Chains A and B, each alone.
Chain A
Amino acid sequence: MKLLTLNFLTCAIKSCKTSPASFPLHPRDAELEIVEADVNLAFLQNILPRLMWAELRTIASELGLPTLPEDIPEREALVEGRGEGEGEGEGGEQIPSQTAKDLHRVLLETCIQEGKLVCGNCGHEYAVKEGVANFLLPGHLV
């Protein structure tokens, strides 16, 4: 599963939802795999406003990934210096900056293949196997 997905997930136990500690889920004993994909600049720019940046930084550091910048990048920082004299309008394809490539690597290419996702509130562990996270709860926890 992609790290971006963790941006939208929380503990499945109802009573945890109101606790801030239930987000993000913390990866533990994670085996990572890099699955290469094309960079989609427009998507990266438009997903920025939805990212929980501080939490994403926590996840990245827990996984031992390179430290993410303290502040979330600006949209403009994802584009390599624009071509000059192109005037306004569509022009050519914009070129992703190194910041964009790094973000793309973390969000969309870094996948948890095996491991656990742990709720910071109740401690429940959700297993990830063959890249699929299992959020099904035993009957007594539903």
Chain B
Amino acid sequence: MLPTPSTSHVCFDRVYEPAEDSFLLLDTLSSPSESAFLHQRFGQNACVSDIAPLVLEVGVGSGVVLGFVAANARKIFGREDVLTLGTDINRFACQAASRTVETAIKDSASRTTFSDVINGDLASSLKPNAIDVFIFNPPYVPAELPDFTHHDSYNILPTGETRTTFDQDSYLLELSYAGGEDGMVVTNRMMEQMPELLSPARGVAYLLLCAQNKPEEVKQRVRNWGPGWCAETVGSSGNKAGWERLQIVRFWRITAQDTTQH
């Protein structure tokens, strides 16, 4: 088992605390089967192996997942020239996650490079075709979306104060889990951006879903994006009967190059 990054500096009153979903992502990304897939796609013998891969996590929260990837890139991808970048709608999460990733890199003596965590809506500020590895643990719970009217004031410390209010904290945490109808409203918006976000040559995405998100439908939708698009469940956890049964779906595209290589 690879070590989990420390998040002891994070205030979980307003930033999502690592939970079963986060740990499922860690376990899946470092599982022998995913490491094998990622080594083949990004390792020494992969095509364009001398171009540094860019890993983007959307909705980093505490930063535990991105920190884990940054710290363990050698084992996960077979290389350390990896650049990690994050986004979160919650500014407090951006600051917390930056520290988590930086600490994880230092503690593990990893040689990967951390870019930044951007405060933004999903991946809306990212350049198209730039992302090699995409990771998203979305707000997947079927619950009403929070009211965004006060986002700007809730996203910073109240003027002249040194701490956040209770309402503010509740709002910021709601952002991290409430996913609207079927828990899919935010994920659907993200998926619309996905095909043009991923690098055409080697882009791969990891998306966490719960049973109520109707994962089979999500996978079918990806396969309908066009020729070569694949979607498979590559990790799962939880009680089979429970509604919160979680799974990780991997999306990727098989390019003409992949099929002619062997």
Report A's interface with B, CB cutoff 8 A.
1-2, 4-5, 8-12, 14, 17, 23, 40, 42-43, 45-47, 49-50, 108, 126, 130-137, 139, 142
User: What are 22 of the A-B contact pairs (CB < 8 Å)?
Assistant: A1-B116, A2-B115, A2-B116, A4-B115, A8-B85, A8-B126, A10-B126, A10-B128, A12-B125, A14-B124, A23-B127, A42-B81, A43-B80, A43-B113, A47-B81, A50-B54, A50-B130, A108-B113, A132-B95, A132-B116, A133-B118, A142-B121
B111 touches A43 (CB 8 A): yes
Q: How far is the CA of A126 from the CA of B116 in the complex (A)?
A: 15
Interface residues on B, range: 20 to 34
Q: How far is the CA of A49 from the CA of B51 in the complex (A)?
A: 6
B95 touches A130 (CB 8 A): yes
| Inter-chain residue pair count (beta carbon < 8 A) | 100
Q: How far is the CA of A132 from the CA of B138 in the complex (A)?
A: 21
B47: CB under 8 A from chain A? no
The prevalent SS among residues of A at the interface is mixed
B111 touches A40 (CB 8 A): yes
B130 touches A8 (CB 8 A): yes
Question: Shortest CB–CB separation between residue B139 and chain A, in angstroms?
Answer: 16
Q: How far is the CA of A49 from the CA of B52 in the complex (A)?
A: 8
B117: CB under 8 A from chain A? yes
Question: Shortest CB–CB separation between residue B63 and chain A, in angstroms?
Answer: 13
Q: How far is the CA of A15 from the CA of B39 in the complex (A)?
A: 37
| A135 contacts across to B, CB distance below 8 A | 87, 118-121, 124-125
A5 touches B127 (CB 8 A): no
B83 touches A47 (CB 8 A): yes
| B80 contacts across to A, CB distance below 8 A | 42-43
| B126 contacts across to A, CB distance below 8 A | 8-10
Report B's interface with A, CB cutoff 8 A.
50-52, 54, 80-81, 83, 85, 87, 89, 91, 94-95, 98, 111-113, 115-121, 124-128, 130, 148, 151-152, 155
On whether A50 and B113 interact (CB within 8 A), knowing A8-B130, A135-B125, A136-B151, the answer reads no
| A133 contacts across to B, CB distance below 8 A | 116, 118-120, 125
Question: Which among A9, A17, A49, A130 is the interface contact of B118 at CB below 8 angstroms?
Answer: A9
Q: How far is the CA of A137 from the CA of B152 in the complex (A)?
A: 10
Residue of A nearest to B114 (CB): A2
On whether A46 and B50 interact (CB within 8 A), knowing A12-B121, A136-B89, the answer reads yes
B50 touches A17 (CB 8 A): no
| A12 contacts across to B, CB distance below 8 A | 120-121, 124-125
| B155 contacts across to A, CB distance below 8 A | 136
| B117 contacts across to A, CB distance below 8 A | 132
Q: How far is the CA of A7 from the CA of B114 in the complex (A)?
A: 14
Question: Which among B111, B112, B125, B152 is the interface contact of A9 at CB below 8 angstroms?
Answer: B125
| A5 contacts across to B, CB distance below 8 A | 85, 115-116, 118
| A139 contacts across to B, CB distance below 8 A | 148
Q: A2-B115, A46-B81 are in contact. List 10 more A-B contacts (CB 8 A).
A: A8-B127, A40-B111, A46-B51, A49-B50, A50-B51, A134-B91, A134-B119, A134-B120, A136-B155, A142-B121
